[in-house]
Amino acid sequence: MVRPDQRRPEHLRPVTFQTGFQKAPAGSVLIGMGNTRVLCAVSVVEGVPRWMKPDDPRGWLTAEYQMLPGATADRAPRELTRGQISGRSSEIQRLVGRSLRATLDLTRLRGRTLYVDCDVIDADGGTRCAAVTGAGVALELALLKMLAAGALRDWPMTRQVAAVSVGLSGGEPVLDLCYAEDCQADVDMNVVMTSNGQFVEVQGTAEQAPFDRAQMDRMLTLAEGGIRELFRLQREAVEGAAAGRP
């Protein structure tokens, strides 16, 4: 099977992490997955949401996601201009927040809130997966900065998290769909997994015809292989930033 960009079914698109892309946030990275690019930044704010009880021993992490107007060929107005966030953006930012909280011992962040901002600069499929994967790097960089400054006593990050899309095209599983593949796929699935092999979310939709258990297992196996590679690339990015390489 020939894919639009000539990749093999099990291959990711080229993945890049440009760390320290923004100066003000505690941690930031511009992630590229093929032609999809997402700027992920983590800011630290003293205090926790008002819904948390005063004796709650945890800190908190929350996320925001948006696509910039020029992220796609047809300009989309800013959601602020429309006066409300779209259902899609709300779903994705909740997914990013859940995914990153799954990596943390929140009791070690007591009294602080981490705000994760994910802004899509270029969209060519898989923006939510890129947001989760890039935000995982930005989060670790932010925590390293806090630890070095003495703002943390104990390391709160217990595992990595990353995400990738997978689907069925012509009945065959393919990894990391670009937009052209996503539009034509028989099945589209997003998989979020932690480095200890647990799933945060598996979201699969039959776009053309229903899929069976055997096909789902093949897609999950393919997704897990891709995510393991993303974990390796995340570690390289964090180690490079710690060594002073952007």
The pLDDT value recorded for residue 37 is 98
Q: What is the pLDDT of residues 114-134, one digit of tens each?
A: 999 999 999 999 999 999 999
Please report the pLDDT score of residue 183 as a whole number: 87
Least confident interval from 31-35, 108-112, 242-246: 242-246
What is the rounded average pLDDT for all residues in the chain? 93
Neighbouring residues of 139: CB distance < 8 A, sequence distance ≥ 6:
27, 42, 61, 100, 103, 114, 116, 157
Provide the residue count of the chain: 246
Tokens found for residue 99: 């995914």
Domains, the chain, with CATH or none = 15-242 (3.30.230.70)
Q: Does the structure show a pLDDT above 80 at 82?
A: no
Distance CA 203, CA 201 (A): 6
Give the pLDDT confidence of 93-119 residue by residue, as tens digits: 999 999 999 999 999 998 999 999 999
Is 166 in contact with 176 (CB distance < 8 Å)? yes
Chain mean position to CA 4: 24
Give the list of residues 6+ apart from residue 73 with CB closer than 8 angstroms, or none. none
Whole-model pTM: value is: 0.95
**Which band of pLDDT confidence, cut at 50, 70 and 90, is reported for residue 28?**
very high
pLDDT at 1: 62
From CA 244, how far away is CA 30, in angstroms rounded? Answer: 16
pLDDT tens digits for 134-190?
A: 999 999 999 999 999 999 999 999 999 999 999 998 889 999 999 999 888 899 999
State phi, psi for 237 to the nearest 5 degrees: -65, -45
